[in-house]
Amino acid sequence: MAAPEIPRPARVPAGANASGDGIALGSGPVPIDAYIDFQCPFCRMFEERSGATLARLVSEDRVTLVYHPLGFLDQLSTTRYSSRASSASGCASDAGAFAPFKDALFANQPPEGGAGLSDEELVVLGQAAGIDDAAFARCVTGHAYLEWTAYVTERGLARGVSGTPTVLVAGVPVPANPDTIEAAVAAVMEAAVR
């Protein structure tokens, strides 16, 4: 029996992938999907260890990197911080600044169990990441992409994602560390030229 189709929200961020459930960086031939939660400490560690390698693979035009910001850890915040941060990342993508905003969110990650950053603090982080646009602030405080976040989360669950970070290279799960990711990308590229 096929899984039920998850309806795509009416509004998805600029820079979204074809299915609308993530933000695509780069246009290289090897797809990497990174399922993250901005409140997840392991995701912050993943970015600290793997972020530079992922950015290099994108800049070398070897991969298309799709970040799927999930709302998995909403229950560990009194304000649904995971979903609000994901929604704000969609606003940053509209402003062409998803990557620097993602980095700022992880660098300023609040502890689990509290309120998380306020909407106003998310706006200030966006400004620090170079977003100088009043539309960004309206988007963040209006929670414009909460419906999108729910869609991203449901699609991740339907794909079998049960924790974060989860990394897939060409659809195959790999350990979320830079060496295994780079080796998997190399193996996919090598297989493609045979």
Structural domains of the chain ordered from first start: 23-193 (3.40.30.10)
**So what's the pLDDT on residue 114?**
87
State mean pLDDT over 161-165: 96
**So what's the pLDDT on residue 120?**
97
Residue of higher predicted confidence among 192 and 56: 56
Q: Look up residue 85 and give its two tokens.
A: 């941060």
Instruction: State the pLDDT confidence band at 6, using cuts at 50, 70 and 90.
Output: confident
Residues 176-187 pLDDT 10s? 999 999 999 999
Strands (E) in the chain, as ranges, are 23-25, 30-36, 63-69, 166-169, 172-174
**So what's the pLDDT on residue 192?**
85
Residues 44-55 pLDDT 10s? 999 999 999 999
With a CB cutoff of 8 Å and minimum separation 6, the contacts of 151 are 6, 7, 8, 9, 12, 20, 21
Instruction: State the pLDDT confidence band at 194, using cuts at 50, 70 and 90.
Output: confident
| CA–CA dist 124, 39 (Å, integer) | 18
